[in-house]
């Protein structure tokens, strides 16, 4: 696999999908969830003991093959954002497009697909031009000398980049290499010294009062309440399955949501039946 050739085609694919799907904002951040939900069924659910941040699968629904994506909401919001962008790449079939455009021969193996999709997610969330621009802006705002950045200052700027694009530290570490801000050799040094660097990242993130480390613990599937109500009315799904789904997703009795509200027009208190 000619990786240098392959990555040349990723920006073109991103430009096309941005046009096809009308993605006007260059910096997407957590808007990625809404984009993903428009193109597949997304299941948000916390799995504390699961190392995986998420995955994509295809399943037949009636006679149609549909995309499903799981997002592990026991992970930080930054991890969830990058995972959503990664899985969106699978839904859009980005790796196959890039593979074909690069003229690669043979089957696209899973390890190569994952590598391409990771690069796609990084470039979608952190466009090179914008990434370099915001990095320079932070250096200038902090009155730092870009030619003589101390490690602690460099990590501070990386944390600011994490917040700008709502992505995890490792994504930014890779991106500063990919965009030519630092050399691969320096990137390797950062990787080898993470035992000293990661505590700095945590400290700077707290000082900046970001939500990057927030664990949402979200339990939902967009439109799930309506689906359950249809299933209850249709009678084709077992009561046990409906009850278990409600319990798993912390859904109360949806049949009690159609309550009427009486409003006093003389300025008295609102009453609810």
Q: What is the pLDDT of residue 221?
A: 87
Strand pairing report for 261-262 and 271-272: antiparallel
pLDDT digits (tens, 9 = 90+) for 11-30: 998 988 888 777 777 889 99
Of the chain, the percentage scoring pLDDT greater than 90 comes to 58
Cβ neighbours of residue 217 closer than 8 Å, sequence gap 6 or more: 46, 73, 74
CB contact at 8 A, 126 and 82: no
User: Where does the pLDDT of residue 259 fall: very low under 50, low under 70, confident under 90, or very high at 90 and above?
Assistant: very low
pTM for the predicted model, two decimal places: 0.84
Rounded distance, CA 249 to CA 252, Å?
9
> Of 110-119, 182-191, 217-226, 252-261, where does mean pLDDT reach its minimum?
252-261
Rounded distance, CA 202 to CA 241, Å?
42
pLDDT digits (tens, 9 = 90+) for 203-250: 998 887 778 888 989 888 887 777 777 777 777 777 777 787 778 787
Of the chain, the percentage scoring pLDDT greater than 70 comes to 91
Give the C-alpha distances (Å, rounded to integers) separating 206 from 213, 214, 227, 240: 9, 11, 40, 44
Q: What is the pLDDT of residue 253?
A: 62
**Domains (ranges, CATH) in the chain?**
3-125 (1.10.10), 128-208 (no CATH), 223-256 (no CATH)
Instruction: Classify burial at 140, counting beta carbons within 10 Å of its beta carbon; exposed 0-12, middle 13-18, buried 19 or more.
Output: exposed
Rounded mean pLDDT, 71-100: 95
Rounded distance, CA 125 to CA 198, Å?
22
More confident residue, 20 or 98: 98
**Residue carrying structure tokens 């799930």:** 224
Rounded distance, CA 186 to CA 152, Å?
14
Rounded distance, CA 154 to CA 148, Å?
10
Tell me the average pLDDT of the chain. 86
Instruction: Indicate if the pLDDT at residue 113 is higher than 70.
Output: yes
The tokens for 235 are: 């009678």
More confident residue, 61 or 82: 82
**Residue carrying structure tokens 């609810």:** 272
Q: What is the pLDDT of residue 188?
A: 94
pLDDT digits (tens, 9 = 90+) for 131-164: 999 999 999 999 999 888 899 999 999 999 999 9
């Amino acid at each position: 696999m000619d990786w240098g050739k392959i990555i040349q085609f990723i920006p073109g694919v991103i430009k096309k999908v941005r046009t096809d799907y009308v993605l006007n904002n260059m910096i997407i951040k957590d808007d990625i969830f809404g984009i993903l939900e428009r193109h597949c069924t997304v299941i948000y659910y916390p799995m504390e003991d699961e190392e995986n941040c998420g995955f994509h699968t295809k399943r037949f629904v009636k006679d149609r093959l549909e995309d499903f994506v799981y997002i592990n909401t026991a992970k930080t919001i930054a991890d969830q954002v990058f995972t959503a962008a990664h899985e969106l790449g699978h839904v859009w079939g980005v790796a196959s497009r890039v593979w074909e455009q690069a003229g690669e021969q043979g089957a696209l193996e899973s390890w190569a697909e994952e590598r391409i999709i990771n690069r796609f997610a990084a470039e979608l969330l952190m466009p090179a031009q914008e990434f370099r621009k915001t990095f320079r802006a932070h250096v200038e705002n902090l009155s730092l000398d870009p030619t003589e950045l101390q490690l602690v200052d460099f990590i501070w700027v990386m944390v600011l980049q994490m917040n700008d694009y709502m992505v995890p530290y490792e994504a930014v570490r890779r991106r500063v290499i990919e965009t030519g801000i630092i050399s691969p050799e320096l990137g390797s040094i950062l990787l080898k010294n993470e035992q000293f660097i990661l505590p700095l990242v945590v400290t700077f993130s707290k000082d900046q009062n970001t939500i990057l480390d927030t664990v949402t613990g979200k339990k939902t599937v967009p439109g799930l309440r309506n689906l359950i109500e249809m299933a209850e009315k249709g009678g084709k799904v077992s009561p046990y399955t409906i009850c278990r789904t409600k319990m798993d997703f912390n859904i109360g009795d949806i049949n009690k949501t159609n309550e009427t509200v009486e409003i006093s027009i003389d300025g008295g208190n609102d009453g609810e039946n």
